[in-house]
Amino acid sequence: MSFTIQKADGTSEYFKVEKLRRSLRRAGATPAEVTEVIRTIELRLYDGIRTQEIYRLAFEILRDIGAPIATRYSLRRALLGLGPTGFPFELFLAKLFEADGYKTQTGIILNGHCAPHEIDIAAYKSDHSFIGEAKFHSRPGIKTDLQVAMYSYARLLDLRDQQICQEDICGIKEFWLITNTKFTTTAEDYAHCAGVHMLSWDYPRNNNLHDRIQRAGIYPITVLQSLAPAQRQSLIASGVITCQDLLANERLLHQLHLGKDKHQAILEEADGLIKHTISAHKWWGCQPSQIWRKSVIICVLFHFSRYRIMTDVQKEESQKTVISFVFGLLVGGLLVWAFMGDGKDHDKMPANEEVETTATTTANDETTETTSEAVVPNLQVGEGKVTVASGKAGREVTLGETVYPIEEGWIGVREYNDGKLGWINGVIRFSKAGNLVPTTIPLVQPTVAGREYAIVMFTEAGDKTFNSATDKQVDTIFATFTAE
């Protein structure tokens, strides 16, 4: 019997078991794990089931059998969890490209031929450079459309040949449009025609965002199942974006007031995820599909070295062995091809594939046991007062005692020159109902030593995504400071 499934964007299609199989293999599931997941899900399918439900079931099965890939299987949902603002996603992209050898900048202002532009990410290395727009969405069904692709091309035209650094390679010739979800087909067609590079969860077919994350082993902390949502947001507010950041700044876990066992469990999960990725994708510096090829070379060299010192009788017997050996290699090669592809695309997914880790909300997100271990301070609401505990120049400002004039909104840093407010350097959301009490303000535009800045607040329009057009600034400057 064929079942229809409802996709994240509201459309429907028939359930295709091969899509589920591919998504599991991409995450690194063993053949036995793939078989177990598919067998269980097929027994629980019904007409009209949502993709979120299918992949929630898949995640639970992997977790219950203790599969280490369960965490990586929730990767797409983890990217959605980097919100509510787009700033953490921009920082995550910077770290991802840095792992590929680029030097990066985020939140910079570049003057075009006709107007200034705020650039989400600029990246360059010895033989390549580009600037990019990062479109973050907090729900999987939202796609980046034609309008965004068109204004990206307009920005490229205005910024063409401007410099993002002093090296010869740094003249702007490429503009990348990057999203954590998907593009509409018309946006993809337009960008291909106009020469705008696009990168999404599954676009292009090869070397898309998912592929790059898996290859680099750079995972957002929102993928960690041992962290509750409030704990993740607290760490992100402190500038911890990736699992590598967490391991390098272990002391920041202390602000969550965790027990010793819980503290250790989080570190072990982060460390295990990174190590498992390395071991799953490398063998003597090889990708999995290269293992067979390297084995062939080693075996042939070994046999050739022995052949030179054999007697004639031994050589005759050895020739029979070689024939059997070659036959075995052919059979082995066919098996590798059947299960892993051609060695380049085995962990890739077709561009229109809907078999993602869509909405795999984990049980740890919902258990009171996990959440209760995070002691989150109450938001103080009153007339409004802010003290800056540390204004050291860089990518964050540490807050001291803070009393908020409203129960929900955004607190941010702005440039402050001669009594006038300038560019917004960064904001972070606060909420009494949501227990969001930031201790630091992450900045997309770093503060500069010797310059003056102001602490301001904005209302929240209801979409939990910062937009300076709809989230109105409270008519008060709560503090000023000079970066040290």
Span 92-123, pLDDT tens digits: 999 999 999 999 999 999 999 999 999 999 99
Average pLDDT over residues 211-220: 92
User: What percentage of the chain carries pLDDT values higher than 70?
Assistant: 77
Exposed, middle or buried by CB within 10 Å (0-12, 13-18, 19+), for 112? Answer: middle
User: What percentage of the chain carries pLDDT values higher than 90?
Assistant: 40
Local confidence band at 286 (pLDDT 50, 70, 90 cut-offs): very low
Q: How far apart are CA 319 and CA 473, in angstroms?
A: 82
**CB-based contacts of 126, cutoff 8 Å, min separation 6:** 169
Please tell me which residue, 280 or 477, carries the higher pLDDT value. 477
- β-strand 396-403 against 385-390: which pairing, if any? antiparallel
Q: How far apart are CA 244 and CA 316, in angstroms?
A: 56
**DSSP secondary structure of 137-203:** -SSTT-EE-HHHHHHHHHHHHHHTT-BSSSSGGGB---EEEEESSEE-HHHHHHHHHHT-EEE-SS-
Per-residue pLDDT for 361 more than 50?
Answer: no
Reported for 12-19, long-range contacts at CB under 8 A and 24+ positions apart, including other chains, are 12/48, 13/354, 15/45, 15/49, 15/54, 17/42, 19/353, 19/354, 19/355
Q: How far apart are CA 83 and CA 233, in angstroms?
A: 9
Please give the pLDDT value at position 383. Answer: 85
Q: Which of 190-194, 211-215, 309-313 has the highest mean pLDDT?
A: 190-194
Mean pLDDT, the chain, rounded, equals: 80
pLDDT digits (tens, 9 = 90+) for 410-421: 999 999 988 888
Other Cβ atoms less than 10 A from the Cβ of 412: the count is 24
Cross-strand partners of 198: 177
How far is the CA of 165 from the CAs of 128, 371, 375, 393, in angstroms? 12, 45, 44, 21
Local confidence band at 157 (pLDDT 50, 70, 90 cut-offs): very high
* Cβ–Cβ < 8 Å for 160, 194: no
**CB-based contacts of 124, cutoff 8 Å, min separation 6:** 102, 103, 130, 164, 165, 167, 169, 170
